[in-house]
């Protein structure tokens, strides 16, 4: 406020909104720039690192993991989605699937 010859004059400094939004935009730009600087660069990792692959089945396991041998194990995984009450009452077979296979 300014006094001039006994009168008080209020000076209009313009709308505060645009100045506040510009300040907020500047702060957000600086904050996002610092966050981007802290983000690590992508790293390329080989999918094949430490991959162990053996061609064919181990000796003495012919057919032990074929579908006809593990069918009851596979079917019991879908019991939660079955509407047929006979199918829903099926239980998982005893033992561990593939326990006698070398690398399962």
Whole-model pTM?
A: 0.43
Residue 24 falls within a domain, yes or no? no
Q: What token pair was written down for 85? A: 């009450």
Residue 94 falls within a domain, yes or no? yes
Helices (H), the chain: 16-38, 67-75, 85-88
pLDDT at 7: 61
The string of pLDDT tens digits covering residues 21-47 is 778 888 877 777 666 666 667 888 888
Measured CA distances, 24 to 17, 21, 34, 90, 100 (Å)? 10, 5, 15, 63, 67
pLDDT at 65: 85
Q: Which structural domain range is residue 72 located in?
A: 63-104
Residue 100 falls within a domain, yes or no? yes
Number of domains the chain is built from: 1
Separation CA 9–CA 41 (nearest Å): 58
The string of pLDDT tens digits covering residues 46-103 is 888 777 777 887 888 888 888 998 888 888 888 888 888 887 778 888 888 888 888 7
pLDDT at 38: 66
Residue 25 falls within a domain, yes or no? no
Residue 28 falls within a domain, yes or no? no
């Amino acid at each position: 406020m300014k006094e001039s010859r006994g009168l008080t004059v209020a000076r209009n400094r313009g709308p505060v909104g645009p100045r506040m939004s510009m300040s907020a935009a500047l702060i957000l730009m600086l904050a996002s720039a610092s966050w981007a600087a802290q983000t690590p660069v992508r790293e390329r990792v080989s999918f094949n690192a430490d991959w162990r692959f053996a061609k064919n089945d181990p000796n003495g396991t012919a057919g032990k993991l074929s579908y006809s041998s593990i069918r009851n194990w596979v079917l019991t995984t879908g019991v939660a989605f079955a509407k047929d009450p006979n199918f829903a009452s099926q239980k998982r077979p005893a033992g561990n699937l593939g326990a006698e296979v070398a690398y399962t």
